[in-house]
Amino acid sequence: MVSAPPPPETSAKIQVQVRDLTIRYGSKVALEKVSLDIREHEIFGIIGPANSGKTSFLRALNRMDQMHSSMKVDGQILFRGKDVHSWRNLYALRSKIGVVFPLPVGLPLSIYDNVALAPRLSGTKNKSDLDEIVERCLQRAALWDEVKDRLDSLGSMLSGGQQQRLTIARALSQDPELLLLDEFSIAVDPVTTMKIEDVLKELKKEITIILVTNLVQQARRLADNTAFFLTGECIEVAKTEDLFTGEVKDPRSRDYVEGRFG
Amino acid sequence: MNAPPTHSHDPPEGENLDQLNLAWYVDKVVQWLVFFGGISAIIFIIGIFVFIASQGLGYAVKELDLGEFFFSPLWRPTSEANPTYGALALIAGTASVAGFAMLIAVPFSLGAAIFIAEFATGRTREILKVLVELLAAIPSVVWGFIGLSIMNPLIINTFDVPIGLNILNAGLILGLMAAPIMTTIAEDALKAVPDGYREAAEAMGATRWQVVWRVVLPAGKNGLVAAVLLGVGRAFGETMAVLMATGHSVHIPTSVFDSVRALTATIAAELGETPVGSDHYKVLFTLGIFLFLVTFLINLTADLVVRGKRRNA
């Protein structure tokens, strides 16, 4: 506790404010009455076993309930002070919130076009600007060195781990303010995972990151604050250090991070 | 954690980001255009149904003896003294030809689809696919011509029967016509089965055929059923080839060498010579309604089956 960094929440502004968020799929409740705050320039970790509602939480944030007719969202999610459900221009909202899904989705375009897609959609036409964005994003996703000589080949032909890094590069290409990472390292080797983790620590200076992960230690390495979800309930939101040193309100949180939890 | 927002802007900051830009407007316009495109298709279909119904439905419900229509084999629409409109023989003709066609087409097309999708590789597969698609493009009048001028003498000589224009002839022709389209759809259904399934099964030491039989066919089952049903719909609706190859004689068949007459062929052959508005004219439209309902039900079933596949997937 002595070496813990100064708590960021005292200084930083709230980026995302969640109040009484309840998510249902049909009659099944995936998430119940979750309230939490996510501050600017923090990495906010969400841990919890399968079926705890972590992914549903991210989906609701990016308004992906639009695509799942059975998904029903109640409660408030304020992004920059405005409830995401009251946004008229959903596309503008999504362009501010980047998402990386657990399984890589290399679009059937060239590597270059995969990364240049979002900037082009929002009107960047200048070739040298695009070149610069593509290189910067691929660098950040630790993929540049492997693909810089074949930017014209198909993104969907890369290996799984490379596609995942391409997905991350693509998510960064539109300069999101908020980056949602859902189990990003599931298809990536440990060395590359560490590289990307370093990138995330750098990125934190510019954007806010929500990191959903099954790897408890990954949350410990990266997250400033961490929430523990269990079967649709938010059991605990705490400073990550507190969670791992056992200073928790609920004993289940300690059991989970210490791996004593089936 | 439940504290009120510490930074309560008015209006909130997010308000500035939530602007309706050009892309948003383009999106809305395109959505409307596509909506009208979709609606127009529905309007046309409803229009066609309303037209057919307006010509035949009122008559069919009020004046036509439906008992006679469905159960009498006597089709004598042009009789001066006592016209009868029994469609049983026509229905039997269509059903027997379509049924025979399916006996031919189902095994051939499913076999072809399995071969192309699961066993053929490289060149063989590409050539086969092109040939099957080419087969689907042959006009039905050409098939009818083949039935009339090639199959007819062939059947007479081979089976020693007086006439070669019969269920066997039309069924074969129709089966060959329906097979390519069924093959194409069935192959698509098999292609849609993820390769991961095949790899997982082969990794356990399953043979190619075991993989196909135990994994691929069950996974693609709904698509295959849909392919067969669409083939049945095609066989029911086909007109020109059956007009030319069935012999066109009103008759309840007792063997595959009997000539029959199909519903579609009857409409095609008689409508042009029937006074508009006469009973005969309206009965032909009633036949049309019946055909429409049958093919509609078949297509609806196929659609529901495919939807079932999506739900389970």
Mean pLDDT score of chain B, rounded to an integer?
A: 89
Task: Tell me if chain A has a CB within 8 Å of the CB of B13.
Answer: yes
Q: How far off is chain B from A177, nearest CA to CA, in Å?
A: 11
Question: Chain B, 80-99: which have a CB under 8 Å from a chain A CB?
Answer: none
Residue B47 belongs to some domain of the structure:
no
Residue B59 belongs to some domain of the structure:
no
Say which DSSP state A259 is in. T
Q: Which residue is associated with the tokens 């609701």?
A: A60
Chain A positions in Cβ-Cβ contact with residue B6 (cut-off 8 Å): 13-14
Amino acid at A4: A
pLDDT for A237 equals 93
Q: Is the ipTM of this complex over 0.95?
A: no
Q: Residue B224 maps to which CATH number?
A: 1.10.3720.10
pLDDT above 80: residue A10: no
Q: How far off is chain B from A148, nearest CA to CA, in Å?
A: 30
- Contact between chains at B12 and A19 (C-beta distance less than 8 A): no
Q: Which residue is associated with the tokens 């008759």?
A: B251
Helix (H) / strand (E) element for A131: namely: helix A127-140
Helix (H) / strand (E) element for A20: namely: strand A14-25
Superfamily of domain A8-257: P-loop containing nucleotide triphosphate hydrolases (3.40.50.300)
Please write the tens of the pLDDT for every residue from B199-225.
999 999 999 999 999 999 999 998 999
Residue B30 belongs to some domain of the structure:
no
pLDDT for B311 equals 57
Say which DSSP state A7 is in. P
Residue B201 belongs to some domain of the structure:
yes
Split into its structural domains, chain B has a count of 1
Please write the tens of the pLDDT for every residue from A200-255.
998 899 999 999 998 999 999 999 999 999 999 999 999 999 998 888 888 888 88
pLDDT above 90: residue B56: no
Sign (positive/negative) of CA torsion A218, A220, A224, A228? positive
Please write the tens of the pLDDT for every residue from B62-82.
888 888 888 888 898 888 888
Q: What percent of chain B has pLDDT over 90?
A: 56
Q: How far off is chain A from B12, nearest CA to CA, in Å?
A: 5
> Which domain, by its residues, includes B202?
76-312
Say which DSSP state A26 is in. T
Residue B250 belongs to some domain of the structure:
yes
What is the C-alpha to C-alpha distance for residues A202 and A139, in angstroms, rounded to an integer?
12
Q: Could you tell me which of A68, A56, A19, A100 has the C-alpha nearest to residue A231? A: A56
Give the closest of B6, B7, B21 to A92, CB-based. B21
Give the count of Cβ contacts less than 8 A between chain A and B.
56
Cβ proximity of A21 and A199 under 8 Å: no
What confidence category does residue A50 fall into, taking pLDDT thresholds of 50, 70 and 90? Answer: confident
Give the closest of B8, B9, B18 to A88, CB-based. B18
Residue B27 belongs to some domain of the structure:
no
Q: Which residue is associated with the tokens 């659609």?
A: B303
Task: Tell me if chain A has a CB within 8 Å of the CB of B196.
Answer: no
